[in-house]
Amino acid sequence: MTDDGASDSSPSHSTRTILVAGTASHVGKSTVAAGLSRLLADRGFSVAPFKAQNMSNNARAVPIAPAVAGSSAERGGDAGDADTVNDAAFGEIGVSQYVQARAARVTPTTDHNPVLLKPRGEGESQLVVNGRPAGNHAASDYYEEGWHRARDAAEAAHARLVRQHDVVVAEGAGSIAEINLHHRDLANVETTRFADADVLLVADIERGGVFASLVGTLELVPDDVRDRIAGAVITKFRGDESLLSDGLDAFEERTGVPVLGVLPYDDPGLPEEDSVSLPAIDERAAVGASANESEAAITIAVPRLPRVSNATDLEPLAAEPGVRVEYVPLDADLSSADAVVLPGSKNTADDLRACREGGLHDRLHEFSGPIVGLCGGYQLLGERLRNVGAESVRGGDELPGFGLLPVETRFSTEKRVAPVRWRFDGTGPFDGFAGTVSGYEIHTGETRVIGDETPTDSDAPRRPFAADGRAGATLGIARGNVLGTYLHGLFENDGVRDAFCDHLFAAAGKSRPTGDELAVSPYDRAAALVSRLDLEPLGFEAVGDD
C-alpha cells in the first residue's frame, strides 16, 4: 500500500486467497465461506472475508475501511449522489460478508464487500461502492459506466486485505460459468485473476445433476480460471456417501480435479444472503422452527413485498420454538395470523402501490392483532409518503399510506447508515421490556409525527425509543397494538424478542414451548461442517491435524 492508502494492485506473496465459487446460485457458497473463515481462524490464521461484488438488499452497517474513509478518490459517492448521514464513517455491505467477518473473528468493514448492488425494481439497482451510494443504474448502464470503477475499487480493497491478513476467503456470485458475463464477471473471473486465487468449486447435489453441473462448469470457464480450480465440493448430500464413490472416481478421472469433500445436508443457522430462499410474491410459505406445525404454534404473517429488503430481521423470530414465520401474498387473508410484521423495502413507494393493489391496506385495518413495521414497513404504516420521486422508480409526489400511525415520511437523496444503540421502553406487544437495544439504520427518508402531537386520549401515539439528539418519531412510534421503527435487528435483541413472543402466546392462550439453546454457534457449526474437507490442495496441510 502506498503512503496515501491507495493500492499498488499486487497481491501479497505471503497471503493466500481462496475463492469459493459455485456452479449456480444458492449452492452453499456462503456457508462454505463462513465455515472456512471460522475453521482457519481457529487454527491460528488471520482471516478476512471478501466478495468483490454482491447483489442483495440484505445489508448491514459497518465501518468504512480506514484507507477509504478519508480518501475522496476511493469514496463511493459522486457529487449529486445520495449523501450518507452518520456520526462516524459507516457504510453498507452485504449481510453474508458481515456474517463471514464475524465467523473470521474480525471487525467487518467495507473492504470485505466493496461493491454492492441493491435492486430497486424495474431493472434498476442502487450501486454502493466502498459502502457509499454511487448512483442508480440499469444493468446496461452499470456495465458501460460503472463497472470499471467498481473493479478498481474491488481490486484495491482486496490488496488492502492481503496486507493485513494471512488468508482471504473470497465468495463468488451465482455461477462462475456464465459465458455471457466472463468479460465483466467481477465476483468470479476478475477476482480469480487480480487475487491470483485458488478456486474451490461448490455444487449442490440436492438439485440433481451434480456431476453434469461440475463438468459443464469446468468446460465453460476461461482457461486461465480453469487452471486455478484446486478442487470441488459437493454440498447438501443426504444418504449413504459410499453410493457416490463411482461417480466421484469417474469425475476426477475425467477432469483431473479432486473432490475435496462431500458435505451432508445441514443448515448451521446463518442469515440468508438474499431473497432467493423466500417464496415468490404470489406464494404462501412458512419458515422457522415450527414451519410444519400449526396447532401448537403462533403464526407471524409477513406480507411478501416485491422489493423486500433485510428479510434477515425475521430470522430470529423464525428460530424460536413454536413460532411460524409465514410469508404471505399481498392479497392473502390475515385472519389466522397472531401478528403481522412488515419488513423493510428497497423501494417503499412502489411497494406501497403494490400493497394497495393487493388489498393489504384494508386487511391491515381489519386485523386486530399486533402489527410491527420495520424501516420501510414503518414508512408504509404512516399517513402518507411525500416527495416519492426521490425514492420511487416510477416517480411521483405524494402517496397515501396505510394510516395506522400518525406519521408521514418525506424522501430525499439523503441516506442514513449507522449502527445504533437506543433506549426502548416497551409498549403494546412489547410491554414489559425496558432497556437498551442495538441494531442498525439503513434508510432514506425522515419520518415525523403529524397532527396534534400532545393528545390526551388513550390512543395517543407513544415514543418508546430514545436516543441522544434524535426526535422520537425519527426512531419509531407506537399506537395501540401498532409499532413502527427504523431499527433493523430489533428482534436480535433477546429481551425484545422474548417480550413479543410471550405476548403472542399469552394472547393466543397457548403455552410458549422452551427449546434447548444451541450449544454451538452458527459459525462453529459451519466450521464443523467444512472440517471434513481435504484442504491440502489449498495449501493447508496441517489444518486437519489437532
Catalytic center residues:
375, 488
List the one residue out of 469, 487, 504, 342 whose CA is nearest residue 424. 487
- SS3 for 247? helix
Phi-psi region of 248 (alpha: psi -120 to 50; beta: other; left: phi over 0): alpha
User: Exposed (0-12), middle (13-18) or buried (19+): which is 216, by Cβ within 10 Å?
Assistant: middle
- SS3 for 396? coil
Instruction: Count the Cβ atoms, other than its own, within 10 Å of residue 378.
Output: 28
- Written as one letter, the residue type at 373 is G
501 CB-near residues (< 8 Å, 6+ apart) = 298, 317, 320, 322, 323, 512
Residues 190 and 9: beta-carbon distance below 8 Å: no
Q: Please, how many CA atoms are within 13 Å of residue 91, restricted to the half-sphere of its CB?
A: 28
Residues 77 and 33: beta-carbon distance below 8 Å: no
Phi-psi region of 446 (alpha: psi -120 to 50; beta: other; left: phi over 0): beta
Instruction: Outline where 245-327 has alpha helix (H).
Output: 245-255, 315-318
Distance between terminal CA atoms of the chain? 36
Distance CA 258, CA 537 (A): 9
Cell numbers for 210:
451434480
Q: Say which residue the cell 454482491 belongs to.
A: 54
Residues 288 and 321: beta-carbon distance below 8 Å: no
